[in-house]
Structure 1
């Protein structure tokens, strides 16, 4: 996880257009490839993403084929009827709006609920401390000024992706439970 001193760079902010949105707004991107926390982020992503994938598989849509299989099973169980509604929604700006402390609390809740006190011999309190470093020390430069991101995480960060998914797991739990009781299905497409 140690960064190579000669390759470390402070992250910088730049913008890319979102042509699919009205008015073509700009998406802020923090380039953090050589930031001191990047290796920790990658480490946490590799450590935690397989756990999330394993425990969230029943509510995850992997691709179009997986969606078709879910709908086929729903139909086979005679739950798909003419009055069935199919709904989709999109959460905007999730990565950049994650509340830091709440997200870390949810990360620990996720691990504890699934029986982990350690992950690959790393205690969950150490995982939380490493995660805190990654999200709290997200510092970047824009127009020769220094900024620290106080909410959310860096786009493209391996750990931010996993943390956002675990954050949504908490929100989804109650909804998924209610839908299962009424023989409905729920699936979230993960990128």
Structure 2
């Protein structure tokens, strides 16, 4: 009995991986490219892979599942397990989600328009952006973001969490670049908990009275309800007040905001042969969504706590999960 100790045949060889790495290295500055390539080659040489231990019968079973077009094999939203759904039910769940009022249908793929917009902005700030960085931020030709869903097996009816795969999309590399600039602006609040160990450490210093009540709550679909106009203004104010910004980027605040606005307002995606876009908020899968949502929650929370009539003895938050006493 192998239980969960399966070792399947690896689909790609080290040669395939090396070719993919070379493609990435070619876009990096020469010195960094050589260093990165050397590290990857060293890692591959030291890697040890388990030998395949599946029987012929097991391999046939896996192959039959892989080619079965009537089912969809998915990892779950939370936890370490796999779910098999009927393909028709999977599509019905996503179509129900798309008809919820948070999305609108587009007449065609807007990818060419988005590519031109990104190129125009990068050209506008070409004197500030190094040539190699400008080349790196240019995702052209690109491909549309795609929608897929992860089953929430911990919820009644097993709804799907919508995830937008933005890899290779027009704003993908630009969003990653802006993420590094914005990172220090998030999580500045005294209420923010970095991890569970820090949370437990804080709880040890808390004394509760018999009349105290412990409450925990979270925000429903945080990413999709962040108002884009408001968060852009909040971030702009933060960047103007950030004395360390010049250490992270040579771009002026105006340039950062122009690039950020394109990324946040480009919310379109493809599902099957149709194109949609969010009416507001940000998509799960956009690398900017967690940090931008965190900045907005910091801002909203501060206003709420400062103006609250009744003060809590304890208020701690990790992203959209809050613990109050």
Same fold (TM over 0.5): yes
Instruction: State whether structure 2 residue 237 is matched by structure 1 residue 116.
Output: no
For 2:205, the equivalent position in structure 1 comes to 73
Q: Which has the higher contact order (CA 8 A, sep 6+)?
A: 1
For 2:260, the equivalent position in structure 1 comes to 131
Q: Radius of gyration: which is bigger?
A: 2
For 1:17, the equivalent position in structure 2 comes to 151
Deviations along 1:34-81, whole A, 9 cap, x unmatched? Answer: 11101111112111112313x23x211122221122122333xxxx32
Shift of 1:122: 2.7
Aligned-pair Cα RMSD in Å: 2.4
Can you give the 5+ residue segments of structure 1 that lack an aligned partner in the other structure? none
Q: Distance in 1 between matches of 2:211 and 2:239?
A: 38
Shift of 1:178: 5.9
Which of 164, 171, 188 is the matching residue for 1:37?
171
Shift of 1:82: 2.2
Which of 76, 83, 97 is the matching residue for 2:211?
83
For 1:177, the equivalent position in structure 2 comes to 306
Residue 176 of structure 2 aligns to a residue whose secondary structure is helix
Q: Is the Cα contact below 8 Å between 2:267 and 2:283 reproduced in 1?
A: yes
Q: Is the Cα contact below 8 Å between 2:139 and 2:168 reproduced in 1?
A: no
Normalised to the residue count of structure 2, the TM-score between the two structures is 0.51
Q: Distance in 2 between matches of 1:125 and 1:14?
A: 34
Q: Is the Cα contact below 8 Å between 1:117 and 1:123 reproduced in 2?
A: no
The runs of at least 4 aligned residues of structure 1 exceeding 3 Å deviation read: 109-112, 175-179
Q: Distance in 1 between matches of 2:279 and 2:228?
A: 8
Instruction: State whether structure 2 residue 157 is matched by structure 1 residue 157.
Output: no
For 2:81, the equivalent position in structure 1 comes to none
User: How many residues are treated as equivalent by the alignment?
Assistant: 181
Task: Identify if the C-alpha distance between structure 1 residues 73 and 110 changes in structure 2 by more than 3 Å, giving closer, same or farther.
Answer: farther
Shift of 1:107: 1.8
Which of 97, 105, 112 is the matching residue for 2:225?
97
Q: Is the Cα contact below 8 Å between 2:185 and 2:238 reproduced in 1?
A: no
Which of 133, 137, 157 is the matching residue for 1:2?
137
Task: Identify if the C-alpha distance between structure 1 residues 155 and 47 changes in structure 2 by more than 3 Å, giving closer, same or farther.
Answer: same
Q: Is the Cα contact below 8 Å between 1:44 and 1:131 reproduced in 2?
A: yes
Can you give the 5+ residue segments of structure 2 that lack an aligned partner in the other structure? 1-135, 321-325
Q: Is the Cα contact below 8 Å between 2:194 and 2:318 reproduced in 1?
A: yes
Shift of 1:155: 0.9
